[in-house]
Structure 1
Amino acid sequence: MRVYVGSFFIAICLMLSMQGRAYAALEESVVQLQTANGVLEGTLLVPEAKRGMPVVVMVAGSGPTDRNGNQPGLHHNALLLLSSALAQHGIASLRYDKRGVGRSMSAVPKEEGLRFEQYAADVRDWVKWLAQDKRFGKITVIGHSEGALLGMLASRQAKVANFISIAGPGRPADQLLQMQLASQPAEIQAMALPVIERLKQGKTVGPVNPALQALFRPSVQPYLISWFKYDPAKEIAKLKIPILVVQGTADIQVDEEDAWLLGAANQRATVISIDGMNHIFKKSVPDRAQNWNTYTQPELPVMPELIAVLARFIQQDGKLD
């Protein structure tokens, strides 16, 4: 099912979500998860609510992304703002620094030992950790961008009530990489495409051209192999829980077609298009320069349309009607 969010729908959702509720007090605490490779650290935000409140685990996207959704040079606080907004609807949240980032820096093995599955296992273990806390009821995993695929894998490994993809790719990473390389000079494509094909086959590549070293250095190739083997559409098809796929029309990193691919793969999925929302949940326009400017403006709020849809879905056990 595909839904376009309009102002009337948003107003109704906000009214129903907030009716008779007041979450003035918030409890924020730093929490840690012990793993075989070190400690992961996150932030647990809990609204003043009764026992059995819903809770979400936020899974960040690709790159060195911290618990607030930020990377070096890109400070927008997307996940922090999302967490705070959901708390106003009585929804607790856990967001955490990815392995090897921020306060989870020590929990990263050598680069050649890192695998995509390790990140998925981290999500699974956070879910299991939350399940032991009697304050919480049903757990929802929210995966952003690359984090959507990680969330899909984890949602099959732990007890999760709902799964939400926000700006999640619907195609394997090798295909996305090829699409991104299409804008590069022909000589770069000629060198890179054979490397991608070999990695897709599960085989490493010998010394690569210095121009490709940052992308295909030998130490990162095992990770790319572990990532390339997953097709998000096939993985989401395996889920047997309510699914919400959210995509913004102003996203310059992930195409709307990806949302269609994910939604079509599982009959339990509802696809929501939010007009004017970009990759980091903020109001923008398709123009690349103006769009990228929002990535360094943490004062810009998360779009209320997104909050209304997420709150409704989580509070109504995976339903929007």
Structure 2
Amino acid sequence: MKTKYFFLILFLVFSISTNGLYSQDDIIGKWWGNIDVIKTKLIIIIFFQKEDNKYEGSIDIPQQSVKNYTLSEIEFDKKIVRFILDVPNGKAEFDGKYYKDSISGDFRQSGISGTFFLSRAMDVIKPEVTEKPPYIEEEVVFYNGDVKLAGTLTLPEYSGKHPAVIMITGSGPQDRNEEILGFKHFQIIADYFTRNGIAVLRYDDRGVGESKGKTIDESTTEEFADDVLQAFQFLKSRKDINPEAIGLCGHSEGGIVAPLAASKNPEIAFIICMAGTGVTGEEVIIEQMKQILKAEEVPEEEINKEIELLKKMTQAAKTDTGWEELKTEIIKTKKESFEKMPEEERKKIKDENKFIEITTEAEISQLKTPWFKFFITYNPVPALEKVKCPVLLLFGGLDFKVLVDQNLKPMTEALERGGNKDVTIKVFETGNHSFQDAKTGSMSEYEVLPKEFMPGFLEFMKDWILQRVSVSR
């Protein structure tokens, strides 16, 4: 699960040399780097392009599930680079110097200041794949009412009716590859499965990339399940797909969506839940916060304070009451945090009261979204009890976002009560939330780990699927 914020600063909790695929005298291309402010580093990914002699750009902030947000007022004159990210709670201004392979400078937003650094991204300078993969890639579109969903269908090269998997992303706006910190989870899975005879459909979330319609925040987990059911109908209508061998594979929130969709359609052949949950979203995020703060060695007293505030947030969201009291509590907590902050850090914030007001309003606006209210109140157990198809439950032993001890038992018990006779459980002891081979599981570790799944992970899923469906060789 990924906490969702529009604001760039996580407040309470939460150089590559090139030979130049692009001219070194231009900023066109992809850049990686970070914003450094108030002792917090946020990874940013920026893409610049030029249309009709005018620069355009977009930004991703993976830690905050910000994907493909538009940049404006982009200026470049060989020495300086300036651009703005305009979000509801205040413009974020970037004012940097250009050094061909890097950009660095000042960052400002809502009365705070810091620095940012960018370097040309390796995957722009050095294309990932130059040879055609040994399978078919087809760009596809399907619809759920007035929501347009666009994606990529990969198919084995040989003819026949193929088994297929529909990939379901985790929370926050995600593209079809579920790319997080440069790790393209679903592209890697699709490539591996398709090379082994399994077709894969992966698609951009509604409102992301080529998909259109209501944004993620305006939608609910149940609506995402309806998107999946339309993806199923789309595949079922194709002559090159075996309609009796279409399954689902969901990661994180996708591991909630998969059983919900399967409970509504008994034709779904199997489901895989990668770090799915068996309790309400409220229980998940409370335990998630505890474990993340413990991993960061936050004192027990401070953890308890944060948990109490989080409970007040979820209560307000559930009942749609007490917002003014909650706002007062959040402001009080932020002011206490400021008082404990080193003087040199406080100096970076020009107007503390304005900063606190803006960030508090941003947090409350997120708590009021349809997505958040549904997520914290939804209990996955009733849907799991209705799932009769084969189920594979996958967990990481070092996943502090979805904990094995909290979720495995209620999931398996629900499936057993429903009479499901084919349930497989696999815990990858050193796996994190992304099923990378981790050492600590801490949030900061994700940035430095190889962008690949841990040994044996892909093979385990592939073997499990092929024990239940046949490829058409």
Q: 1:318 to 1:46 in 2, by over 3 A?
A: closer
TM-score w.r.t. length of structure 1: 0.80
2:317 counterpart residue number:
199
Task: Quote the residue 2:184 is aligned against.
Answer: 77
- What's 1:225 paired with? 373
Q: One-letter code of the match for 1:84?
A: D
2:413 aligned residue: 264
Match of 1:32 in 2: 141
- Does residue 253 (structure 1) correspond to residue 401 (structure 2)? The answer is yes
Structure 1 residues 292 and 176: alpha-carbon distance in aligned structure 2, compared to 1, 3 A threshold: same
1:164 is aligned to: 272
**Is 2:281 the counterpart of 1:173?**
yes
Q: What's the counterpart of residue 18 of structure 1?
A: none
Deviation (angstroms), 1:194: 2.4
Distance 1:314 1:40 in 2: 26
User: For residues 79-127 of structure 1, what are the alpha-carbon distances to aligned partners after superposition, in whole Å with 9 as ceiling and x for unaligned?
Assistant: 11111111121111011111122222x322595x423321111111111
CA distance in 2, matches of 1:125, 1:302: 29
Equivalent-residue separation in structure 2 for 1:195 and 1:289 (angstroms):
23
Structure 1 contact 247–273 (Cα < 8 Å) conserved: yes
Give the aligned partner of residue 237 of structure 1.
Answer: 385
Change (3 A) 1:187 1:290: closer
Mapped to 2, the partners of 1:232 and 1:247 lie a distance apart of 16
| Structure 1 residue 33 displacement after superposition | 1.5
Q: Could you tell me how far 1:284 is from its partner in structure 2?
A: 2.0
Quick one: distance in 1 between partners of 2:198 and 2:414? 28
Give the 3-state SS of the residue equivalent to 2:447 in structure 1: helix
CA RMSD of aligned residues (A): 2.6
What is the number of residues matched between the two proteins? 288
- Listed as ranges, the gaps of 5+ residues in structure 2 are 1-132, 294-301, 328-356
232-241 vs 177-186, which moves further:
177-186
Give, in whole Å, the separation in 2 of the partners of 1:180 and 1:290.
15
What residue number does 2:153 align with? 44
Give the Cα separation in 1 of the matches to 2:203 and 2:312. 36
Distance change >3 Å, CA 253–CA 189, structure 1 → 2: closer
Give the secondary-structure state (helix, strand or coil) at the position aligned to 1:164.
strand
Report the TM-score, using the length of structure 2 for normalisation: 0.56
- Confirm whether residue 283 of structure 1 aligns to residue 283 of structure 2: no
Q: Is the 8 A contact 1:167 1:259 kept in 2?
A: no
Q: Secondary structure at the match of 1:139?
A: strand
Q: In structure 1, how many angstroms separate the alpha carbons of the residues matched to 2:156 and 2:216?
A: 38
Q: 1:185 to 1:281 in 2, by over 3 A?
A: closer
Partner of 1:151: 258
Partner of 2:130 in structure 1?
none
Aligned to 1:310: 461
Residue 214 (structure 1) shift: 3.7
Question: What do the CA deviations read for 1:200-256 (whole angstroms, capped 9, x no partner)?
Answer: 4x5455344256544431773432222233222332122011111011223232212
- Compare the two structures and name the one with the higher strand fraction: 2
CA distance in 1, matches of 2:220, 2:443: 34
Q: Which residue of 2 aligns with 1:133?
A: 238
Measured in 2, the distance between the counterparts of 1:194 and 1:318 equals 47
Aligned residue for 1:270, secondary structure, equals strand
Contact 1:70 1:76 in 2 (8 A): yes
The 3-state SS of whatever aligns with 2:231 is: helix
Q: Summarize the Cα distance change of 1:260–1:285 in structure 2 as closer, same or farther, 3 Å threshold.
A: farther
Distance change (3 Å), C-alpha of 1:318 and 1:213: farther
Identical counterparts, % of pairs: 25
Identify unmatched segments of 5+ residues in structure 1. Answer: 1-23
- SS at structure 1 position matched to 2:411: helix
Question: Relative contact order (C-alpha < 8 Å, sep 6+): which is higher?
Answer: 1
1:96 aligns with 2:203: yes
Change (3 A) 1:212 1:178: farther
Deviates more, 1:34-43 or 1:130-139: 34-43
Task: Give the letter aligned to residue 117 of structure 1.
Answer: E
Q: Which has the higher helix share?
A: 1
Distance in structure 2 (CA, Å) of the matches to 1:275 and 1:49: 37
Return the alpha-carbon distance in structure 1 between the equivalents of residues 446 and 437 of structure 2.
Answer: 12
Residues 1:260 and 1:188: Cα distance change in structure 2 (over 3 Å): closer
- What is the CA distance between 1:169 and its match in structure 2? 2.1
